[in-house]
Amino acid sequence: MSALDTLFALSLPQPTASLSRSLPSTAPHPHLLHSLSDRNNSVLSLAADRDHIFIGTQCHNISVWDKESFTLKATLRGHTGSILALEYAQDKKWLFSSSEYVWSTITLLPIYVLHPYLETGAGDLFSLVWCSSLQTLYIGCQNTSLQWFDFSREQFFDSYGSGTSTPSRKAHKFFDSYPQYQHRPADIFASNGSPSMTPSTSGDGVPTLSVPAPRASLNIPARNVVDSAHFGYIYCMALLPSNREGCDDVISPENVDIQLVTGSGDETVKLWKCGPAGPTLTHTFDCCDGAVLSLAAREETIYAGCQDGYVKIWDLETKTLVRTIIVQENVDVLSLSLMQSDLYTCSANGQIQRWSLSFDCTASWRAHDGIVLSSIVTRSKGSKSFFLLSGANDGMINVWKSETMTYALSMFVSIPSVSCESAHREDCRQAAIWLKKCLHQLGAESTLLSTYEGGNPLVLAKFQGTQTKHRKPRILFYGHYDVISAPSEGWNSDPFTVTGRNGYLYGRGVTDNKGPILAVACAAAELLGKRSLGVDLTMLIEGEEETGSRGFVDAVKKYKNLIGDVDVIILSNSTWITDYPPCITYGLRGVVHCSVEISSNSPDLHSGVEGGAAAEPMMDMINVLATLTDSERKVNIPRFYDDVRPLTEEEEKLYDLLSQVTQRPGSSLSSRWREPSLTVHNIEVSGPKNSTVIPGKVKTQLSLRVVPDQDLQSIANSLVDHLKTSFQKLNSPNEFDVNVNHTADWWLGNLDDPWFQTLEAAVRDEWGVDPLRIREGGSIPSIPYLEREFGCQALHLPLGQSTDQAHLPNERISLSNLRRGKSVFQRFLLGVADNDTLFLNPTKS
């Protein structure tokens, strides 16, 4: 059983609605990886090439989505009808649409307009199939005719007369139209001027392309038509040998007969032998169970999806019916797809079923809230794995795939491990237990470590690299499984259900910090499975980072021997400065959190009675706080700036670069990252808080952000001394109390160290650009502590973008960033292993 299968076993079983035999299966159905929204337009057809997903809708447009990032790339306009069918010609890099267009999938520009014989008399074009060996497109029409067009060089030019190098075209009513107010008919001269190929954005925010007219308008001749090929609409077609991506047909020699399969509303499936002269009918299969609405073909088998929930399975060699599957009675089967040896049936009630090679139902699930109208199987970009796409009249295109990382993240996020709320204490423990099991299934030795009584445990996991004669570099990854609270207000989806929308995964913790944790774990697991993990990777994941890491320091000291020696620490717990390019964080400010209380030891008073006679705590607090800064907002604490590092010339150049990228002044970035600051967070008062009350007690929370080379303890002591001295100068009878509640030291990485340079190279190799070197104004207390405890440096690789909304409603992470982040960690681990002697600390060998 694979790691993914075991992770799926942690979820609840899915109910099956199939009326045929259902066998228990260790393989779960593909989970919902992502959803693409086409603005509530019915998704009528789907196609895909290596880089894109093409979606045909009822609104006369084709939307083009990036296959890797699942973001909208362009909208192809100009069609005059609904896009009932799409067909991709891989050899030509062409996309055929049923509204008569041939598009280049490289430029996303129209190449030809292809008119069927009789044009509008042919009715709607329900189905398209491309045969690369014959260079022929077959078209199934509403008027029951079967038509085809031969794009081979001889036939193509012969239809326009010999000697014509480029067919002359007729005017097109979209591309060759004049402005409406001119009341002129379209002609080819209307497209004057150089066409623009620059993407633009329409008023609704959808990318569009301003495109030139097609180079030619083609017409299917009368000789390329089989009239009344069926006695009903030709709803669907398939080709044998199968040309569908994902089918496990063995590629046959070119001299094998090409056979076209057509399905119709007349309840028949017809088999045609295809040749240069056109298709010839060889056999008719009578389905007898309503219109044939969908077809799929594999080797010697034809699958016909019919009305009322039937799938007829025919043997091609013997021409016999071998099986009838009742998918769901009285529910039309509108689309069929083959993913290797499995058949996927898509029904009008939103259900998808998976059927094995032996015709057993191995999975059934609710895929849409509407009618599933289309589906395809396509390969993931840059890999050998496949995923299933389904489109429905709910306007959604759902991506179904068995992918370990995203499925595990959906399970991880579903556990509301909110450490700041006592109601979720058990959820935090369950999250730790789940993560321990998950990391174990991915190949690590994992265990839980206690912190303090009632505290959330640490998760310790070790991925042991391939055995060698010498000690391998040892890397410690630090992260946290707890999350901030997520009130439902402001969220567009359940915060504890991962929801994929248009290139992003939404959910509490997807970017801070559950997504990066699983990216690292999956990177190590994949290398381990290939026997390519040349380092030892230890993961130390805490459960109270969002509440100050209580108990973390003591637990690390207690279990230091179990954690083992460490050569470098790495974390991923922040975001980029923008949405692009990628960044590496090399510095964090420290923090001193302090609380101040001034009390009169008297009850709250009425300002109209006691005002002017009482020494008011609020006035004392205002006077004390006013001494902390001057008129230029500089901190007034003595010697506060003495140890702050001066800005170097190299840093100035870096801030100039970052200023250009972010369109912010470099001084603004500098003040946020490398200069200390003071903040007063709130003032709380006793009493009913109305405008006539003199509060008897006033509290405030304030903090200092400290930077290199300020001494954390000295700064904390100076703050306390300054506050006490300022209060004493008031000669107030009130009581004064000040407490330092929390401190965290600053952190600064070494940009010239080989560890940092290897990480930087990994980012550069993955994204193809130099990453920006950035710092953060916030603090992560565990990092400088771990550096001191293990005597090594830390690295910080953020995966989130600046718009990822960490700690806010609609927290998200880019699916592309998550996947590429995993790839960066793999590159980093491989780079360290290839130069292990460069990274080994001789004192720890």
**Residues of the chain falling short of pLDDT 50:** 1-26, 154, 158-169, 188-189, 191-204, 206, 210
Do residues 347 and 8 touch, judged by C-beta distance below 8 A?
no
Domain C-terminal end among 697, 714, 744: 744
- In this prediction, residue 589 carries a pLDDT of 95
Paired sense of beta strands 583-588 and 396-401, if any = unpaired
Q: At what angle do helices 649-662 and 666-673 cross, to 10 degrees?
A: 110
User: Token digits for 347?
Assistant: 């029904």
441 CA to centre of own chain: 23
**Cβ neighbours of residue 709 closer than 8 Å, sequence gap 6 or more:** 643, 644, 645
Task: Answer yes or no: is 336 within a domain.
Answer: yes
* 376 and 443 together in one domain: no
Q: How many CB atoms lie within 10 A of CB 518?
A: 29
* 579 and 601 together in one domain: no
- In this prediction, residue 184 carries a pLDDT of 63
Measured at the CA of 458, the angle between CA 454 and CA 463, to 5 degrees, comes to 160
* 60 and 36 together in one domain: yes
CATH at residue 500: 3.40.630.10
Q: How many CB atoms lie within 10 A of CB 594?
A: 19
* 296 and 432 together in one domain: no
Do residues 334 and 305 touch, judged by C-beta distance below 8 A?
yes
- Catalytic residue list contains 545: yes
- In this prediction, residue 507 carries a pLDDT of 97
Closest listed residue to residue 304, CA positions, set 263, 254, 247 = 263
pLDDT digits (tens, 9 = 90+) for 244-295: 776 655 555 555 789 999 999 999 999 999 999 999 999 999 998 899 999 9
Domain C-terminal end among 369, 402, 435: 402
**Cβ neighbours of residue 843 closer than 8 Å, sequence gap 6 or more:** 791
Closest listed residue to residue 763, CA positions, set 831, 677, 684, 824 = 824
Do residues 118 and 143 touch, judged by C-beta distance below 8 A?
yes
* 129 and 185 together in one domain: yes
* 335 and 235 together in one domain: yes
Residue 831 CA to residue 756 CA, distance in Å, equals: 11
Do residues 327 and 294 touch, judged by C-beta distance below 8 A?
no
Residue 348 CA to residue 291 CA, distance in Å, equals: 14
Q: Which residue matches tokens 């050899």? A: 91
Task: Answer yes or no: is 663 within a domain.
Answer: no
Q: What is the signed CA dihedral for 760, 761, 762, 766, rounded to 10 degrees?
A: 110
Which 3 state secondary structure label does DSSP give 111?
Answer: strand
Residue 522 CA to residue 33 CA, distance in Å, equals: 16
pTM exceeds cut of 0.85: no
* 815 and 708 together in one domain: no
- Catalytic residue list contains 610: no
Task: Answer yes or no: is 300 within a domain.
Answer: yes
Task: Answer yes or no: is 481 within a domain.
Answer: yes
Residue 504 CA to residue 544 CA, distance in Å, equals: 26
Task: Answer yes or no: is 14 within a domain.
Answer: yes
Catalytic residue among 545, 546, 745, 776: 545
**Cβ neighbours of residue 722 closer than 8 Å, sequence gap 6 or more:** 627, 628, 636, 637, 638
* 759 and 636 together in one domain: no
Q: What is the signed CA dihedral for 59, 61, 65, 70, rounded to 10 degrees?
A: -10
Residue 38 CA to residue 45 CA, distance in Å, equals: 12
* 459 and 345 together in one domain: no
CA 198 → CA 79, 98, 108, 201, 207, distances in Å? 20, 26, 11, 10, 10
- In this prediction, residue 152 carries a pLDDT of 86
Our count of domains for the chain comes to 3
Task: Answer yes or no: is 646 within a domain.
Answer: no
pLDDT digits (tens, 9 = 90+) for 520-551: 999 999 999 999 999 999 999 999 999 989 99
Task: Answer yes or no: is 758 within a domain.
Answer: yes
CATH at residue 699: 3.30.70.360
Domain of 70 in residue numbering reads as 3-192+199-402
* 714 and 827 together in one domain: no
Domain C-terminal end among 367, 402, 437: 402
CATH at residue 87: 2.130.10.10
* 288 and 304 together in one domain: yes
* 730 and 762 together in one domain: no
User: Token digits for 758?
Assistant: 């290897």
Catalytic residue among 100, 427, 482, 536: 482
Residue-by-residue DSSP string for 775-798: EESS--THHHHHHHHHTS-EEE--
- In this prediction, residue 404 carries a pLDDT of 87
- β-pair partners for 238: 261
- In this prediction, residue 166 carries a pLDDT of 41
Task: Answer yes or no: is 416 within a domain.
Answer: yes
